[in-house]
Amino acid sequence: EAQVTQNPRYLITVTGKKLTVTCSQNMNHEYMSWYRQDPGLGLRQIYYSMNVEVTDKGDVPEGYKVSRKEKRNFPLILESPSPNQTSLYFCASSLQGLDTEAFFGQGTRLTVV
Amino acid sequence: AQKITQTQPGMFVQEKEAVTLDCTYDTSDPSYGLFWYKQPSSGEMIFLIYQGSYDQQNATEGRYSLNFQKARKSANLVISASQLGDSAMYFCAMREPYYGNNRLAFGKGNQVVVIP
């Protein structure tokens, strides 16, 4: 089954404690990205990757890191989480192109206290 | 500047009735793609329908249709014969041909509650 898998689904952590949210896709997509969703703001892109070893900033990259060592995996790293990073996070993958459907992971609800 | 505008307040819809969700967009590029996604209370993002800027016909997918008015930069979603399972948040999104970034720019969403 074609899917994007994120882990964990839920995470509560403390300020400053490094964490990683994993994302894996099985569709051989070149393009992967991370979004955060906040009430009243819709989804905003954090980082994206065109292919292996190619990553770049989206609209709200501050406080986040990513890596793309393999095509299928695109982890999101919060080196020193802060409460303003409490949000719902989505990983998405797609083929390149204007008309390609983006497949989303199940979402990770992160709370930083 | 906001690329996608969804301004309707939360909507209550009677089961079996049709509902229209408004979406306007802003782009100067002649080539772009428009998408609608559904987010039920469980949280996942579900792709509903796609419309390309050069498509002559309005897109349809089952009970979903897209009322595409290019000159007005409008891409409204129409859900016919609403069902209880249609209760969700609905997001309009646009993809423009930025070099290297396949980004979807999302609106803030429309909340729909279907009542029996």
Distance in angstroms (rounded) separating the CA atoms of residues A12 and B11: 32
> Over the stretch B61-87, which tens digit does the pLDDT of each residue have?
999 999 999 999 999 999 999 999 999
A102 has pLDDT over 80: yes
B100 has pLDDT over 70: no
Selecting from A42, A106, A109 the residue whose C-beta is nearest the C-beta of B106 gives A42
Q: Are A6 and A105 in contact (CB under 8 A)?
A: yes
- C-alpha distance from A17 to closest chain B C-alpha (Å): 26
Regarding beta strands A103-104 and A87-94, do their DSSP bridges make them parallel or antiparallel, or are they unpaired?
A: antiparallel
A84: left (phi over 0), alpha (psi -120 to 50) or beta: alpha
The reported pLDDT for the residue numbered B75 is 97
pLDDT mean over A24-41: 94
pLDDT band at B91 (very low <50, low <70, confident <90, very high): very high
Residue B108 to residue A42, Cβ atoms within 8 A: yes
Q: Are A31 and A11 in contact (CB under 8 A)?
A: no
- C-alpha distance from B12 to closest chain A C-alpha (Å): 19
B16: left (phi over 0), alpha (psi -120 to 50) or beta: left
> Over the stretch B5-33, which tens digit does the pLDDT of each residue have?
998 888 999 999 999 999 999 998 889 99
**Cα distances (Å, whole numbers) of residue A31 to A47, A55, B101, B104:** 11, 10, 8, 12
Q: Are B82 and B12 in contact (CB under 8 A)?
A: no
pLDDT band at B97 (very low <50, low <70, confident <90, very high): confident
